[in-house]
């Protein structure tokens, strides 16, 4: 145990840098997934016939093993951080699209009809009713995506993108358990921390009137 602590302290600078890098990569990927995924989720509630195909496609993407997916991405994006971000982005899309879609379609149709019947335009309906009421569900999707993304991003080290995966892979290659742990433990703590932070945001954005 004390060996590990000594190792950890001696490498603390490096671990700190890798953690920051890891956070940066994850955040970029997840934010991109939010920016693209939420609008897609909204659009498929307006064109319900599309929803099957879009969600199906996102399902297929998620079914591809992560290493294989990265393999596909290297010819397109080379190596480095780009393919890693794209990979995590693609994995994050599904929960975000799916939850946005479910969140909006599960709103009581009578509430929507009340809004429409009182003269709301489609965009007012979205802004005043649909988004506020589905926000908790959308945030839950983002939370799942972000937590998964932290774990997935460790693979990024495989193609030289850095992050905490670097410690893990180097440790495996060198049969150095302490090194593996020095990457894995911060990654796990990071995942829990992100889960905790997004949960707080989730509670904050949930309209007061629909809190349980």
Partner 1 sequence: MIEFKDVRKSYDDGKEIIKGINFTINSGELFVLIGPSGCGKTTTLKMINRLIEPTSGKILIDGKDITKGDPIELRRNIGYVIQQTGLFPNMTIGQNIEIVPYLKKWPQQKRRERTMELLRLVGMEPEEFINRYPNELSGGQKQRIGVIRALATNPDVILMDEPFSALDPITRNQLQDELFDLQQKLNKTIVFVTHDMDEALKLGDRICIMKDGNIIQLDTPEEILKNPAHGFVENFIGKNRIWSNPDYIKAEDIMINNPVKANPKRTVLQAIEIMKSNKVDSILVVDGDEKLLGIATSKDMSKKEGSKKLEEIMETDVITAYNDDTISEILKIMDEKGVGFLPIINKEKKLVGLITKSSLITVFSKLYS
Residues that bind partner 1 (CB under 8 A): 108, 110-111, 113-121, 124, 128-129, 132-133, 207-210
103: burial class by Cβ within 10 Å (0-12, 13-18, 19+)? buried
In the chain, what's the furthest Cα-to-Cα distance?
69
Q: How many helices and strands, by DSSP H and E, does the chain display?
A: 10, 0
Residue with the two structure tokens 């429409």: 116
Name the residue nearer to partner 1 (CB basis): 102 or 178.
Answer: 102
CA 141/CA 38 separation, integer angstroms: 10
Q: Tell me if 143 sits within 8 A of 1, measured CB to CB.
A: no
Contacts of residue 72, Cβ cutoff 8 Å, sequence gap at least 6: 64
The residue (of 1 and 118) whose beta carbon lies closer to partner 1 is 118
Closest distance between partner 1 and the C-beta of residue 47, in Å? Answer: 18
Closest to partner 1 by CB, 75 or 117: 117
* CA atoms 42, 43, 47, 51: torsion sign: negative
Nearer to partner 1, 65 or 119 (CB): 119
- Closer to partner 1 by Cβ: residue 63 or 118: 118
Q: What are the start-end ranges of the H helices in 153-176?
A: 165-173
Closest separation between CB of residue 34 and partner 1, Å? 21
Query: Within 13 Å, how many C-alpha atoms sit on residue 188's CB side?
Result: 7
């Amino acid at each position: 145990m004390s060996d590990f602590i000594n190792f950890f302290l001696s490498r603390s600078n490096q671990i700190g840098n890798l953690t920051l890098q890891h956070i940066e990569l994850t955040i970029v990927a997840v934010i991109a997934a939010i920016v693209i995924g939420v609008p897609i989720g909204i659009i498929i509630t307006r064109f319900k016939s599309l929803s099957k195909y879009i969600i199906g496609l996102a399902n297929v993407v998620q079914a591809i093993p992560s290493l294989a997916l990265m393999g596909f991405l290297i010819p397109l994006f080379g190596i480095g951080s780009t393919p890693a971000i794209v990979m995590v982005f693609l994995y994050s899309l599904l929960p975000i699209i799916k939850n946005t879609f479910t969140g909006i379609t599960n709103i009581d149709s009578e509430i929507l009809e009340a809004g429409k019947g009182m003269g709301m335009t489609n965009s007012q309906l979205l802004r005043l009713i649909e988004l506020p009421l589905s926000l908790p569900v959308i945030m839950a999707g983002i939370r799942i995506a972000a937590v998964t993304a932290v774990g997935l991003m460790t693979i990024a080290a495989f193609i030289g993108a850095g992050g905490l995966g670097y410690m893990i892979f180097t440790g495996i290659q060198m049969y150095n358990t302490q090194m593996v742990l020095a990457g894995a433990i911060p990654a796990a703590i990071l995942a829990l921390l992100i889960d905790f932070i997004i949960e707080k945001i989730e509670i904050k954005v949930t309209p007061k009137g629909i809190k349980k």
